[in-house]
Structure 1
Amino acid sequence: MTDDPHALAGAYALDAIDDAEERRLFEAHLAGCETCATELGEFRATTARLGMAVAEAPPPRVRDRVLAGIRDVRQLPPELSRRAVARPVRPRRWRRAVAAGLAAAACLVTAASAGVAIRERQRVERTEAAYREVASVLSAPDARSATGRAAGGGTVTVVASASRGRVVVASSGLRTLPSSKAYQLWLIGAGGPRSAGLLPGDRTRPVVAGTWRPSDRLGVTVEPAGGSARPTTAPLVLLDPA
């Protein structure tokens, strides 16, 4: 439990205050603190933006699985089903061939399903890990945010925490670059710019970068694909979430 209610705005925005008494005290403080109310609104807007950035539509194969599974759903009551499936006995050789074909198909389906399940689990684990890291920064007591418009269009939002040593970067509406170019992030402090990685190609996911220092600003430049050791263009935007 913290003695400074001002430090709880980020955690409250994420609904991450588990202590009921601490939540009550913060809400009482919030009712009379314009600074915390403003900060809470900013954190909620940022959280929503980041949540939309990591949201994904169900993969097309989900629809295929549903349609395939419909074939195995019984459509008739048991009695009518038994009548409907009553057929003249086929020759034994034909039945053996059909059984062998079905067994082979089942093996292929099982192997393919296992591969899909493993890849899906790995993707979910990566997404969950990324979300936990984002949530860790957003809920930090010293988290600060800033949003700015980029030259050429679009916006960039950052949430930084010195105690976590990390900064979350989300973008929206940045112009599409040719395959030979990429957006590169820079942490700019007293010692000059340090690369903080590249924005994803589709720019739909927030990026967690580091190491963040209280005196740092974040800049975004256009660089050759793969990035540069030092900035080669002027920053499209400079943000200081102090």
Structure 2
Amino acid sequence: MNKPVDAGIHTLAAPYALHALPADEARRFEQHLERCADCRVEVDELRETAARLGAAAAVTPPPRLRENVISRIAEVRPLPPRVADGQTLRRWWPRIATGLVAALVAGIVVLGIRLDDARDELDRSEQISAQLQQLVGADDLEVVRTQAGDGTGTVLLARSLDLAVFSGDGMAPAPAGHTYQLWVMHDDGSVVSAGVLGSPPDGRVGPVTARGLAGAGRLGITVEPGGGSRQPTTDPVMVIELPD
């Protein structure tokens, strides 16, 4: 007879992926991992996302801005977890959220920073970091990854917050005078812009926040004239299916 599985053990996937479990908890979860395909997939996705965002930190921002950002990251505090079931997740989530938010903020801040608009970038990073704090505190957080050609899109989504954050990596440069644009695609056929992504030479686009997700089953990326369009003018080069 198979030994009953403690339902709370599934909540350890995130802290295990981020190396936030003590040795005894980690060993117990590894035994569970051998039998649970869903947890293996979740651990792999979380590690891939953390590694991709961490790679962005290889870009060095201006020294003064870097000092300001580091001091702000040190002040980041996660929102209290709202998960009602499982004492284990409540115990470890603050540590996980702090580490994940810091990694995400660090990745966001260093993307495309220029000396002439450093202040705007910092203000924008503060806004997105606050949204990311909300996301990692949500009990329905989903991480979705989509491959299109050489490009990879990653979406952090919480429908309870009507909030998603998209970032892309490995995207081919948009044609001269054009930009990538993110769209929220609703099941009734309506399409709403979530913002212009630009066309950086390193292939990284975003992060961009998307809201208005009620009735939306997909996010789409199109190539548009510089400055963006009111409605898509080309077919999507990437489509991300959103979980319900």
What TM-score, normalized to structure 2? 0.57
Report the residue type matching 2:197 in the other structure.
L
Alpha-carbon distance between aligned partners in 1 of 2:213 and 2:9, rounded to the nearest angstrom: 24
Letter in 2 for 1:42: E
Aligned-partner SS, 1:206: strand
Structure-2 change in CA distance of 1:124 and 1:216 (3 Å): same
Does residue 39 of the first structure (1) align with residue 37 of the second (2)? no
| Structure 1 residue aligned with 2:232 | 231
1:144 aligns with one of 136, 142, 145:
142
Deviation at 1:39, TM superposition (A): 0.9
Bigger radius of gyration among the two: 1
RMSD (CA atoms) = 3.7
Contact persistence 1:185–1:197 (CA under 8 A): yes
* Paired residue type of 1:52: A
Cα contact 2:146–2:152 (8 A) shared by 1: yes
With over 3 angstroms needed to count, the CA separation of the structure-2 counterparts of 1:224 and 1:126, relative to structure 1, is closer
Identity of aligned residues (%): 36
Q: Which amino acid aligns with 2:235?
A: A
Answer whether contact 2:171 2:205 (CA < 8 A) is retained. no
- Secondary structure at 1:216 match in 2: strand
Shift of 1:42: 0.5
Quick one: distance in 2 between partners of 1:214 and 1:40?
29
1:218 maps to what in 2?
219
Q: Which runs of 5+ in 2 are unaligned?
A: 1-6, 66-116
Q: How many residues align?
A: 179
Q: Deviations over 1:117-166 (max 9, x none)?
A: xx877755543442342343245322223322335x42222222211211
User: Structure 1 CA distance, aligned partners of 2:136 and 2:51?
Assistant: 12
Q: Which residue of 2 aligns with 1:206?
A: 207
Kindly indicate whether structure 1 or structure 2 has the higher relative contact order, using CA contacts under 8 Å at least 6 residues apart. 1
Q: Which consecutive unaligned segments of at least 5 residues does structure 1 have?
A: 63-118
Return the alpha-carbon distance in structure 2 between the equivalents of residues 55 and 130 of structure 1. 20
